């Protein structure tokens, strides 16, 4: 098809034809080769296969084995037993429930705060020092989680932590934020929201930037109320970028490991023990590679499920229209 249409299209413009004549024969051969796209994609495909597909298949394979690195016995094929053990384990269900709660609250909190602040910054284009304020606001996002975890452990310290300095001044009471069964979960969520709200501000600003100016000006002329502008103009145009931000945050939040590890080590008890931390312990403290792999596969499937749900929601109207 391409071969039959190409000669017909070529004379349409004299300039490209002249350029083609000046090209080197090898470049022209490559350009015209039907393998050209494959050649371009080749390196990244090789990289993807070596670093993603092979390890994933390996992970899948190990998940069917009882394999403990520090045991003298060789890996033993157990079929789906590791997955059945997870299914029957009350600890794992508790772990998943806790992780999902953490994910909903952190992503929800960061999204709401990020959108509010994003709208404020969007509408304050002439504010003096706006760029500096934005740079400072984005700082938590670029800090390494190891530093954030360590600093907040000190900030929350019941004796010398600055958080308790303020609570004592304000309500005359000190709290053991990270050691209390009632506060540790919330204290960890607060840090995650603090850290990732800037990301959602960034995504909101990007989403707002993608809204056509003509539509906004029309809304301005029509004196459309703000809420209606958001619903009918901003969200339909910016939803893809916003949903992408939420999707990335959801996946990231679901596998959170570093913050709870540094701040509470999963404690008190198991109050901040999430899937990521449990995976780390199973794989790299207990060296139970079979159990860790099966839990990792389940985590991966959950992440894929989230991504699918978001993509479905994004294209819901189009899908429904096509069905009708």
Residues of this chain that interact with another protein (CB under 8 A) are 68-73, 90-91, 94, 157-159, 174, 176, 178-181, 264-271, 273, 281, 284-288
Tell me whether residue 68 or residue 229 sits nearer to another protein (CB atom).
Answer: 68
Whole-angstrom Cα distance, residue 222 to residue 229? 10
- Residues 176 and 124 sit within 8 Å (Cβ to Cβ): no
Cβ at position 88, least distance to another protein in Å:
9
Cβ at position 95, least distance to another protein in Å:
11
Tell me whether residue 85 or residue 215 sits nearer to another protein (CB atom).
Answer: 85
Tell me whether residue 140 or residue 267 sits nearer to another protein (CB atom).
Answer: 267
The H-assigned helical ranges of the chain are 2-9, 14-22, 25-32, 36-48, 54-62, 81-88, 90-122, 130-142, 145-155, 162-171, 184-209, 213-221, 226-229, 235-254, 258-263, 275-284, 289-314, 316-323
Cβ at position 254, least distance to another protein in Å:
21
Tell me whether residue 100 or residue 286 sits nearer to another protein (CB atom).
Answer: 286
Cβ at position 288, least distance to another protein in Å:
7
Whole-angstrom Cα distance, residue 92 to residue 88? 8
Tell me whether residue 198 or residue 266 sits nearer to another protein (CB atom).
Answer: 266
Whole-angstrom Cα distance, residue 63 to residue 287? 13
- Residues 249 and 200 sit within 8 Å (Cβ to Cβ): yes
Cβ at position 207, least distance to another protein in Å:
40
């Amino acid at each position: 098809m391409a071969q039959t249409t190409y000669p017909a299209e070529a004379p349409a413009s004299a300039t490209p034809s002249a350029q083609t004549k000046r090209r080197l024969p090898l470049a022209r051969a490559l350009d015209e080769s039907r393998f050209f796209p494959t050649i371009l994609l080749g390196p990244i495909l090789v990289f993807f296969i070596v670093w993603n597909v092979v390890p994933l298949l390996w992970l899948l394979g190990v998940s069917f084995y009882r394999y403990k690195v520090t045991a003298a016995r060789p890996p033993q094929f157990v079929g789906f037993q590791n997955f059945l053990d997870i299914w029957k384990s009350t600890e794992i269900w508790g772990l998943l429930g806790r992780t999902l709660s953490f994910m909903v609250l952190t992503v929800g909190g960061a999204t709401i705060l990020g959108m509010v602040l994003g709208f404020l910054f969007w509408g304050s284009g002439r504010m003096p020092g706006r760029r500096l304020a934005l740079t400072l606001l984005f700082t938590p996002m670029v800090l390494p989680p190891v530093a954030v975890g360590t600093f907040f452990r000190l900030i929350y310290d019941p004796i010398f932590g600055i958080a308790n300095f303020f609570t004592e001044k304000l309500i005359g009471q000190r709290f053991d934020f990270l050691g209390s069964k009632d506060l540790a979960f919330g204290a960890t969520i607060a840090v995650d929201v603090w850290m990732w709200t800037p990301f959602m501000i960034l995504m909101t600003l990007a989403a707002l930037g993608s809204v056509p100016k003509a539509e906004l000006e029309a809304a301005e002329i029509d004196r459309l109320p703000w809420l209606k502008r958001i619903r009918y103009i901003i969200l339909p145009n910016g939803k893809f970028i916003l949903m992408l931000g939420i999707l990335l945050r959801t996946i990231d939040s679901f596998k959170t490991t570093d913050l709870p590890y540094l701040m509470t080590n999963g404690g008190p008890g198991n109050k901040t023990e999430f899937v990521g931390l449990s995976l780390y312990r199973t794989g790299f403290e207990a060296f139970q590679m079979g159990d860790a792999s099966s839990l990792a596969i389940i985590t991966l499937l959950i992440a894929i499920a989230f991504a699918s749900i978001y993509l479905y929601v994004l294209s819901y109207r189009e899908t429904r229209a096509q069905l009708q």
